[in-house]
Amino acid sequence: MRHWLSLAEHSPEELAGLVALARRLKRGDAAAAEAIPGRVLVMVFFNPSLRTRTSFEAAMLRYSGHAICLSVGGDLWKLEHRDGVVMDGDAAEHVREAVPVLCRYGDALAVRTFAQMKDAAEDAADPILRAFARYATVPVINLESAAEHPCQGLADWMTIDEKLGGTRGRRFTLTWAPQVKPLPMAVPHSAALAAAAAGMHVTIAHPPGYELNAAVLDRAASWCSAAGTKFAVTHDQRSACREADAVYVKSWGSAKLYGDEAAQRE
């Protein structure tokens, strides 16, 4: 079963193909949506969503498909995703029961599940999304998980491509910004990966202590290396922005302070 969980699991060529498909759709080539008519997308939300949910639902409807939207803890009871735990809490059902059932009703499953931000390694392992994928018998789509927001990454790629008239060889800077509360790393992870896959020079700039996930950085660096572009991580945000063709401003929490929101706010 082929899932859509992470940019890091696909090749830059595959990702470029998806952006090309999106361009065809945007130009009005409805044949590019040939997979959609009559299909049912079941969307499961562990967290709220505005752009992602509405754009997916509108896309399914406009191309003659259907979307069923389910909120965990609202429309649905709470779900357990860990294996081997005693389920005597408020999770009435395990993902291993729920997911195969939902796969009988839908042609694909889409899941939003934000980072818990208590343990950076656990968030990087994407436990809830991976549990869905493990038990699914239809493709699973990541609508932002603990580790990545791959659709956002492709949308960013497409936007930069439109604004700059191409991405290859352009200089992309992802720069950290302050926020009143610590935010997940899923979006900056996917932005960095998308920029690398798009053939841009990638600079990631942030204060000390705000390192992104090492495996994600390695993957982005290796894609840049293969494309012959530069990849750098720096604490000099000012220079990184000055020399960029595209600046991506985003806040994320410090993994060192995970689980300590009071310290993060300072």
3-class DSSP string for 65-100: CEEEEEEECCCECEEECCCCCCCCCCEEEEHHHHHH
Work out whether 102 is an interface residue with a second copy (CB under 8 A): yes
Q: Which is nearer to a second copy, 44 or 174 (CB)?
A: 44
Q: Which stretch binds a second copy (CB under 8 A): 52-60, 131-139, 167-175, 250-258?
A: 52-60
Q: Which is nearer to a second copy, 45 or 157 (CB)?
A: 45
Work out whether 54 is an interface residue with a second copy (CB under 8 A): yes
Q: Which is nearer to a second copy, 91 or 233 (CB)?
A: 91
Q: Which is nearer to a second copy, 13 or 104 (CB)?
A: 104
State the alpha helices, DSSP H only, in 182-260. 186-197, 214-227, 237-242
Q: Which of 21, 22, 71, 234 binds a second copy (CB under 8 A)?
A: 71
The dihedral of CA 23, 27, 32, 35: what is its sign? positive
Work out whether 76 is an interface residue with a second copy (CB under 8 A): yes
214 with 124: CB under 8 angstroms?
A: no
Work out whether 88 is an interface residue with a second copy (CB under 8 A): yes
Work out whether 249 is an interface residue with a second copy (CB under 8 A): no
Q: Which of 19, 21, 40, 247 binds a second copy (CB under 8 A)?
A: 40
- Name beta bridge partners: 110: 43, 141
> Which residue in the block uniquely carries the two structure tokens 């949308």?
155
Complete DSSP assignment for 113-143: -----S-HHHHHH-HHHHHHHHH-SS-EEES
Site string for a second copy, 170-189 (x = CB under 8 A): ----------x---------
DSSP strand E in 177-229: where? 201-205
- Least separation in angstroms between CB 81 and a second copy: 14
Q: Which stretch binds a second copy (CB under 8 A): 25-33, 98-106, 219-227, 251-259?
A: 98-106
Work out whether 30 is an interface residue with a second copy (CB under 8 A): no
Name the token pair of 86: 């005693």
- Name beta bridge partners: 43: 69, 110
Name the token pair of 125: 């392992």
Mode of pairing for the β-strands spanning 171-176 and 201-205: parallel
Work out whether 262 is an interface residue with a second copy (CB under 8 A): no
Q: CA–CA separation, 191 vs 144, rounded Å?
A: 12
Work out whether 50 is an interface residue with a second copy (CB under 8 A): yes
Work out whether 91 is an interface residue with a second copy (CB under 8 A): no
Residues of this chain that bind a second copy (CB under 8 A): 38, 40, 42, 45, 48-51, 53-55, 57-58, 61-62, 66, 68-71, 74-77, 87-88, 93, 98, 101-102, 104-106, 180
